[in-house]
């Protein structure tokens, strides 16, 4: 099964990417707006999408906005922010029924695009800024979202590990920003920032569904009013810092289960030739239930409730996360380090290699079955400046051998050991 490719058209200063397919009964439209990840803008960027989806000039209340979505045959509006390396991305998406399957509404696509563009470009404005009630309500919601991180200890430990590892680097910032920034954000200031973003930041529009590139480009040309002028590319620092000394960080909270997280610098990103061997490395180390971390830390030694690893391919970082009994800190740490060392020595079984190949390939193929995953896959290539097609990745995975994985393993440097443990109790090796 081949990848469904996107066709790209330039419309003024924005790009339109279309995947024409009859596979889905819906059309998915998404606007991706990239911004540099900085301490000054992180909280405002996180706040913007939720303020934009509160109301537009034609549909100024949440209720009217919901009614409009119902009129569009139950369309769904979706907004979020995420990080890709040191870029902060705003995503505003709409999933709409395909008008070709609805005899009474052939113009549904145009109506959907017009609505999405209105959400993006015609928000409710009063006294030279966003509507105050909306900004205040969304600031409150964002504050709760940031603070709720503490309630999810797995996510909290993951973020604290990254923040410690990337202290002083933009990537260390939490995707939803910082509560201390919220009091100073007012409706006029946020609106001024929004205008700057919508007029000058790189924007990519994606369409997945039974739609032609010409039609999609024509709709964007007609309905997006900010396609003139310059949109300079977002510059990000691609340097891979070398590890001089492993950082050890311990947090003490009211917890029963410990969280042992580790951050590694891989020296490899999605732009590099070794990206595919790195995918295999992560899969064998901790990406899947047959991996070394899962089998050795959880299954054989019964030391962890969970043990896995994941990649951030734009930043070149690999993180290990495990949930352990607090008293087992040193044992678990020793076994995890042993797995890193085994990878470095190329101690990989044929079974680990073949199972990882099969699981990773299936995972990539399954991504072709969901429109937003297709968009995400294409956007990875676009952001990295390196085109990776599904076929390229699958062929690469098939041809990776133990030596390739070992070569990548040699570059992986442990940077940070983070342990979230209980408040009291005697020392268990992590102080």
Tens of pLDDT along 299-328?
Answer: 787 887 899 999 999 999 999 999 999 999
Q: Which residue has the tokens 């960080």?
A: 249
Residues 319 and 396 in one domain: yes
State the pLDDT confidence band at 1, using cuts at 50, 70 and 90: very low
What does the pLDDT look like over 13-39, one tens digit per residue?
Answer: 999 999 999 999 999 999 999 999 999
Residues 363 and 402 in one domain: yes
Nearest to 249 by CA among 155, 316, 160: 160
What does the pLDDT look like over 193-248, one tens digit per residue?
Answer: 999 999 999 999 999 999 999 999 999 999 999 999 999 999 988 888 889 999 99
Strand partners, 123: 56
What CATH number corresponds to the domain at position 255?
Answer: 3.30.830.10
Which of 223, 258, 282 is at the close of a domain?
A: 223
Report the run of H or E that residue 206 belongs to, with start and end.
strand 203-209
Contact in structure between 292 and 285 (CB atoms under 8 Å): yes
Q: State the total domains in the chain.
A: 2
Which burial class, exposed, middle or buried, applies to 370 when counting CB atoms under 10 A from its CB (0-12, 13-18, 19+)?
middle
Which burial class, exposed, middle or buried, applies to 299 when counting CB atoms under 10 A from its CB (0-12, 13-18, 19+)?
middle
Enter the pTM of the model.
0.94
- Is 237 part of a structural domain of the chain? no
Strand partners, 264: 318, 414
Residues 267 and 217 in one domain: no
- Is 370 part of a structural domain of the chain? yes
- Is 231 part of a structural domain of the chain? no
Strand partners, 240: none
**102 or 158, greater pLDDT:** 158
What's the pLDDT at 238? 81
- Is 58 part of a structural domain of the chain? yes
Q: How far apart are the first and last CA of the chain?
A: 52
Residues 141 and 186 in one domain: yes
Residues 214 and 265 in one domain: no
Domain that holds residue 269: 247-421
- Residues 299 and 309: their CA atoms lie apart, in Å, by 16
Which burial class, exposed, middle or buried, applies to 188 when counting CB atoms under 10 A from its CB (0-12, 13-18, 19+)?
middle
- Is 232 part of a structural domain of the chain? no
What does the pLDDT look like over 42-84, one tens digit per residue?
Answer: 999 999 999 999 999 999 999 999 999 999 999 999 999 999 9
Residues 163 and 282 in one domain: no
- Is 234 part of a structural domain of the chain? no
Q: At what angle do helices 402-411 and 275-282 cross, to 10 degrees?
A: 90
Q: What is the DSSP letter of 298?
A: I
Residues 215 and 334 in one domain: no
How many other C-beta atoms can be found within 10 angstroms of the C-beta atom of residue 418?
27
- Is 372 part of a structural domain of the chain? yes
């Amino acid at each position: 099964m081949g990848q469904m490719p996107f066709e790209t058209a330039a419309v003024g200063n924005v790009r339109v990417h279309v995947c024409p397919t009859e596979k889905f009964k819906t059309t998915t439209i998404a606007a991706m707006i990239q911004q540099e990840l900085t301490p000054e803008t992180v909280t405002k960027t996180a706040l913007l999408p939720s303020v934009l989806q509160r109301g537009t000039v034609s549909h100024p209340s949440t209720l009217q906005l919901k009614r409009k979505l119902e009129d569009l045959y139950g369309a769904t509006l979706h907004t979020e922010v995420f990080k890709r390396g040191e870029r902060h991305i705003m995503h505003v998406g709409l999933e709409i029924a395909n008008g070709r399957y609805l005899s009474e509404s052939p113009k549904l696509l145009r109506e959907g695009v017009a609505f999405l563009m209105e959400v993006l470009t015609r928000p409710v404005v009063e006294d030279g800024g966003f509507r105050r009630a909306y900004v205040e309500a969304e600031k409150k919601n964002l504050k709760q979202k940031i603070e709720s991180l503490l309630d999810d200890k797995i996510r909290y430990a993951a973020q604290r590990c990254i923040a410690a590892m990337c202290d002083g680097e933009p990537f260390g910032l939490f995707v939803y920003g910082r509560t201390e920034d919220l009091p100073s954000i007012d409706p006029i200031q946020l609106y001024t920032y929004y205008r700057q973003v919508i007029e000058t930041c790189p924007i990519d529009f994606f369409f997945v569904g039974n739609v032609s590139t010409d039609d999609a480009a024509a709709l964007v040309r007609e309905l997006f009013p900010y396609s003139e002028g310059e949109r300079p590319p977002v510059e990000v620092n691609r340097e891979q810092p070398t590890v001089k000394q492993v950082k050890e960080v311990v947090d003490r909270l009211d917890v029963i289960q410990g969280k042992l997280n580790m951050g590694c610098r891989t020296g490899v990103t999605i732009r590099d030739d070794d990206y595919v061997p790195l995918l295999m490395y992560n899969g064998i180390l901790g990406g899947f239930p047959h991996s070394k971390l899962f089998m050795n830390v959880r299954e054989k030694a019964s030391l962890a409730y969970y043990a896995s690893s994941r990649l951030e391919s734009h930043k070149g970082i690999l993180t290990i996360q495990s949930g352990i009994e607090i008293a087992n800190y040193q044992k678990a740490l020793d076994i995890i380090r042993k797995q890193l060392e085994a990878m470095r020595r190329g101690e990989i079984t044929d079974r680990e290699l073949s199972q990882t190949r099969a699981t990773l390939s299936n995972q990539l193929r399954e991504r072709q079955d969901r429109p937003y995953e297709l968009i995400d896959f294409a956007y990875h290539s676009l952001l990295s400046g390196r085109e990776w097609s599904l076929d390229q990745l699958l062929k690469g995975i098939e041809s990776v051998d133990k030596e390739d994985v070992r070569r990548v393993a040699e570059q992986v440097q442990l940077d940070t050991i983070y342990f979230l443990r209980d408040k009291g109790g005697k020392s268990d090796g992590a102080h």
